[in-house]
Amino acid sequence: MTDPSRTHLPSILDNTPTVDPSAGGADQGAPAAFESAQRLHDPTKRGFASDNYAGVHPEVLQAIAAANEGHQIAYGEDVYTARLQQVMKAHFGEAAEAFPVFNGTGGNVLSLQSMLPRWGAVVCSSTAHIHTDENAAPERVGGLKLLTVDTPDGKLTPEIIDREAWGWGDEHRAQPLAVSITQTTELGTCYTPDEIRAITDHAHQHGMTVHLDGARISNAAAYLGVPLRAFTTDAGVDVLSYGGTKNGLLYGEAVVVLNPRASEGLSYLRKLDMQLASKMRFVSVQLIALLEGDLWLRSASHSNAMAQRLRAAVDGMPGVTLTQQTQSNAVFAIVSPGVADELRELFRFYDWNPATGEVRWMCAFDTTEADVDAFAAALAKLCERME
């Protein structure tokens, strides 16, 4: 199988100055006054709360600057958005059509709206982002009914889907007409291509379409060692939300339709849902910078590697119990509340389940080995003191 990340497309950055990644993305020509007047934070301080706490990858900033001169037609009629279509086709196949949007919640709601009639419902995991972290946007904005099912690791299976995939033709029940999976899951686990194929085959046999929330899709591909299309297009996924913000973009995602028969009215719904960017070139050029070469893979591979380093460092520490497999850039563990509270004074991170003491530690494209080692050393010191 050919990895589409190796497909050559002449770079939009060929004739622009390079940015030194070691400079942290700062404008090399910026006046000193800008530094003192505008920088309100310590750029050397990084935590483990989320990959969207990170800054913008220097190569993405460079791409934004390259697209900034002159005028381009608004609302997606620009040359960068046209170029993005070719980049997406290189990764996902000739049938793929991309619709750039502002953010992940918008991308998910928009995708599912285009896949369902007004009486349709979505089967998803109880840990799915559309259920736990998107307020009531799927319900209020999208008009969607979510049918949630519990899973041990965030992953659906045909058997788990069947708990809610019933009642077709019953006018008293919202009709289960779509399945939404997340890759990687909210618990940091990954579906294999075969697992996704089993879901899509089962869903399609029951007249359901399949949406993939790909907020961290690049981390999944890096972990699995396969092209993006291996567990999307080739596995029967109908529509996906491609995530860039958590992999080094300033902002911006894309709804990618892989099966045109599974989605309707996306261009109208995008405007209706307030996801149509006027200056769309600045969303599209970021996605081009990420996807036309291997930046997406380099960044995701690095954040995954930092998570593996962190897991290895804390595994076996007294008072630390790892709770999930580390298959992406997330580490989940149970620590005592006292340890977590003190550690959080040094490094930001989130509680995952306050009732059990489970926390989540996330790595990003700019997490360093020194960051991980300092975090692990601080945790070890606190655990020893609490014994």
Q: Is the peptide bond before 323 cis (omega within 30 degrees of 0)?
A: no
Residue 39: the pLDDT is 86
Residue 92: the pLDDT is 99
Tell me the C-alpha distance between 24 and 289, whole Å: 17
Tell me whether residue 290 is exposed, middle or buried, using C-beta atoms within 10 angstroms of its C-beta: 0 to 12, 13 to 18, 19 or more.
Answer: buried
Tell me the C-alpha distance between 108 and 86, whole Å: 22
Read off the pLDDT of residues 146-183 as tens digits, 9 standing for 90 and up.
Answer: 999 999 999 999 999 999 999 999 999 999 999 999 99
Helices (H), the chain: 32-38, 58-66, 79-92, 104-115, 129-132, 158-161, 193-205, 217-224, 266-272, 281-291, 295-314, 337-344, 369-386
Instruction: State whether CATH 3.40.640.10 applies to domain 66-291.
Output: yes
Residue 35: the pLDDT is 58
Place of tokens 């349709």: 120
Tell me the C-alpha distance between 83 and 67, whole Å: 12
Q: How confident is the model at residue 21 (pLDDT cuts 50, 70, 90)?
A: very low
- The domain spans of the chain are 66-291, 296-386
Residue 37: the pLDDT is 57
Tell me the C-alpha distance between 59 and 35, whole Å: 20
CATH: 3.40.640.10, 3.40.190.10, 3.40.50.300, 3.90.1150.10. Which one for 296-386?
3.90.1150.10
Quote the tokens at residue 153: 């690791």
Read off the pLDDT of residues 41-99 as tens digits, 9 standing for 90 and up.
Answer: 999 899 999 999 999 999 999 999 999 999 999 999 999 999 999 999 999 999 999 99
Distance of CA 152 to the CA centre of its chain: 21
